[in-house]
Amino acid sequence: MVKVFKVKAKNIFTPTKIPECAYSVNQYVGCQYACLYCYARFLCKWKRYGEWGSWVEVKVNAPDLVRNRFVYGRVCMSTISDPYQPLEEKLMLTRRILENMHKGIRLSILTKSDLVIRDIDILKKFSNVEVGLTVNGLQGREKEVFEPYSPPHARRIRALEELYDFGIKTYCFISPVIPKLVDVNRIIDELKELVSYFMVEFINFRAAGKGFINALKNMYPRSYEILTDKEAFIDYVGEVIENVEGVRARFIFHKPK
């Protein structure tokens, strides 16, 4: 059972240094999906609510904070949570924000959930909006280990199909790329007709944290070896890049350990 903490925020558009994002919007802090590799786990150091995934802070006044505000530049929703995590179904916080937000704002939404299709009616009112679905194809044991509570692959694909059918610009965030476990080429082949572009992120080994590193080391030693051996990592990245030639894709690299 997730613990919910209702708070009032002073501001909801936060200037950010994330490449190509002028502002982030995080109406939720914390995420019920509790992915083992989540880079936002570091928040547990400051928010003393418990284990990552067991709590969510809800900025209840976020819909009021976006009303009558216009900001220039790309607004990224969300960067430290998922805007369509299960709580959203009942709270409709994200939906109310979208309703109140100026429809000329350049909005980019990223989620793992097909709940986003509920809001297609509002998304269609924006003049410049894109929706990204995080896709990594993890299933079976790997999904249980790394992201047990997130929606399954098939539901994410269905969400992209539906968004595409309704004329919403989509992109696919292939993340986190874990050598030998995530098949970048297969995902690109499956989705290249549905999305405007791919963003491919190789896992940030440091940010993913100890829990992830230990699980990888013990259960997937070959993947661990590639991520911890500079030459093997460079070879692996080279193979991936070579095979996606001709596809609109951006790559995000982090230093190997």
Give contact residues for ligand SF4 (rule: CB under 6 A): 31, 33-35, 38, 40, 81-82, 112, 147, 150
Which residue, 31 or 116, is less far from ligand SF4 as judged by CB?
Answer: 31
Which residue, 183 or 201, is less far from ligand SF4 as judged by CB?
Answer: 201
Q: How far is the CB of 72 from ligand SF4 (least distance, A)?
A: 26
Q: 100 and 66 in contact (C-beta within 8 Å)?
A: yes
Q: How far is the CB of 94 from ligand SF4 (least distance, A)?
A: 14
Which residue, 40 or 97, is less far from ligand SF4 as judged by CB?
Answer: 40
CA dihedral 146, 149, 154, 155 (to 10 degrees): -140
Q: Which helix (H) or strand (E) holds 129?
A: strand 129-135
Which residue, 7 or 241, is less far from ligand SF4 as judged by CB?
Answer: 7
Which of 149-154's residues contact partners 24+ apart within 8 Å by CB, and which partners?
149/32, 149/33, 149/34, 149/53, 150/33, 150/35, 150/112, 150/113, 151/112, 151/113, 151/114
Q: How far is the CB of 42 from ligand SF4 (least distance, A)?
A: 11
Q: How far is the CB of 44 from ligand SF4 (least distance, A)?
A: 12
Structure tokens at 20: 């190509």
Separation CA 235–CA 202 (nearest Å): 13
Structure tokens at 94: 């994200």
Q: Which amino acid is at 128?
A: N
CA distances from 252 to 12, 68, 177 (A): 26, 35, 10
Q: How far is the CB of 238 from ligand SF4 (least distance, A)?
A: 26
Which residue, 18 or 234, is less far from ligand SF4 as judged by CB?
Answer: 18
Q: How far is the CB of 167 from ligand SF4 (least distance, A)?
A: 26
Q: Which residue has the tokens 């284990």?
A: 51
Which residue, 102 or 155, is less far from ligand SF4 as judged by CB?
Answer: 155
